[in-house]
């Protein structure tokens, strides 16, 4: 089981931040391989592994945001760029938090349907393709230059937040949807990715906290400690590496390869679902 834990932990960490949907992979991969679906304890720990990864990678950013929040409270001003960015992150977090709280049963039901996850992977492929096509057309037409993260507006933040809410569905990539939304709003490629990763921190921590509560209520997880530790560390390491890779990748390269991968995995999942009846 430890080898499975290692594999699924690495898978969760990598796909949480690459635009290919971690939830879709954690639904489809065990189902395709005939493995038992990971339990609540394992799911909780690998999510916390990715949360620690994104906090560790962006610790300087979060330290600046916290200093900005303190400065804003003392001066009662939003002129500080860090204060403003923190408020924009809060605005962008609200749609996903509301959707998760109000539609929790609906989303949990979708996680029990591998065919649905496969179908939503096709949606992710379409989102990435459309975002890149629009980006290419805008660049070719010589329109307004891409904007940096410092130029992010309230409508930009809300649009990205709505994309994150949709990405609660298994198979819809959170990073893919939010980066695509940022590109669609005219952000430059690196700024869209950086805002997406910063935005992932509160949503992953919030989801992890809810899972921890469920885990302690359920009990009986102490005997799984070695497996849980393996999954946590694997998700932590692969999560940090995937963040570093994608930030470097999106500066100059398009998201089409990830779109193709999602399309192929989605088609495979649907085909297997039809064959299995």
Could you read off the pLDDT of 139-172 as tens digits, one per residue?
Answer: 777 767 889 998 999 999 999 999 999 998 889 9
Instruction: At 203, list the tokens.
Output: 């949503």
CA angle 199, 46, 50 (to 5 degrees): 30
Mean pLDDT, rounded, of the chain: 87
Gyration radius of the chain over CA positions: 19
What is the separation of C-alpha 271 from the centre of its chain, rounded to a whole number of angstroms? Answer: 26
Q: Is the pLDDT of residue 220 over 60?
A: no
> Is the pLDDT assigned to residue 79 strictly greater than 80?
no
Residue 269 has pLDDT above 90, yes or no: yes
d(C-alpha 273, C-alpha 275), whole Å: 6
CB crowding 215-238: b at 16 or more within 10 Å, else e:
beeeeebeebeebbebbbbbbbbb
Rounded to the nearest 5 degrees, what angle is found at the Cα of 155, between the Cα atoms of 149 and 157? Answer: 50
pLDDT tier, 2 (very low <50, low <70, confident <90, very high otherwise): confident
Please give the Cα distance from 182 to 202 (Å, whole number): 18
Question: How large is the average pLDDT for residues 180-204?
Answer: 92
Angstrom distance (rounded) from CA 92 to CA 94: 6
Count Cβ atoms within 10 A of the Cβ of residue 131 and give its class: 0-12 exposed, 13-18 middle, 19 or more buried.
Answer: buried
Yes or no: say if 78 and 87 are a contact pair by the CB < 8 Å rule: yes
Lowest-confidence segment of 210-224, 232-246, 250-264 by average pLDDT:
210-224
CA–CA separation, 33 vs 94, rounded Å? 36
What confidence score (pLDDT) does residue 80 get?
A: 81
Instruction: Give the pLDDT confidence score for residue 273 in this predicted structure.
Output: 92
pLDDT digits (tens, 9 = 90+) for 101-123: 888 778 777 777 899 999 999 99
Q: Residue 221: is its pLDDT beyond 70?
A: no
Q: Is 126 a residue whose pLDDT tops 90?
A: yes
**pTM, entire model:** 0.90
* Phi and psi angles of residue 192, each rounded to the nearest 5 degrees, phi first: -60, -40
Please tell me the least confidently modeled range out of 171-180, 195-204, 216-225. Answer: 216-225
Supply angle C-alpha 69, 94, 201, rounded to 5.
60
């Amino acid at each position: 089981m430890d080898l499975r834990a290692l594999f699924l932990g690495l898978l969760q960490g990598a796909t949480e931040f690459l635009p290919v949907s971690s939830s879709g992979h954690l639904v489809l991969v065990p189902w395709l391989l005939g493995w038992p679906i990971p339990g609540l304890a394992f799911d909780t720990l690998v999510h916390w592994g990715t949360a620690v990864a994104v906090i560790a990678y962006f610790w300087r950013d979060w330290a600046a945001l916290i200093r900005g929040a303190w400065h804003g409270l003392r001066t009662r001003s939003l002129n500080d760029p860090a204060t403003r960015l923190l408020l924009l992150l809060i605005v962008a977090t609200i749609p996903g938090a509301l959707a998760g709280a109000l539609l929790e049963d609906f989303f949990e039901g979708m996680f029990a349907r591998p065919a649905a996850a496969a179908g939503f992977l096709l949606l992710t492929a379409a989102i990435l393709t459309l975002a890149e096509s629009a980006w290419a057309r805008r660049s070719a037409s010589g329109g307004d230059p891409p904007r940096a993260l410092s130029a992010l507006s309230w409508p930009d933040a809300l649009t990205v937040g709505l994309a994150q809410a949709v990405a609660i569905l298994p198979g819809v990539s959170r990073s893919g949807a939010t980066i695509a939304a940022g590109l669609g709003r005219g952000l430059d490629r690196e700024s869209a990715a950086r805002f997406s990763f910063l935005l992932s921190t509160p949503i992953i921590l919030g989801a992890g906290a809810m899972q921890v509560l469920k885990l302690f209520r359920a009990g009986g997880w102490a005997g799984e400690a070695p497996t849980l530790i393996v999954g946590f560390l694997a998700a932590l390491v692969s999560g940090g590496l995937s963040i570093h890779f994608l930030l470097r990748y999106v500066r100059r390269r398009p998201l089409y390869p990830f779109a193709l991968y999602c399309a192929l995995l989605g088609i495979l999942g649907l085909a297997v679902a039809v064959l299995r009846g």
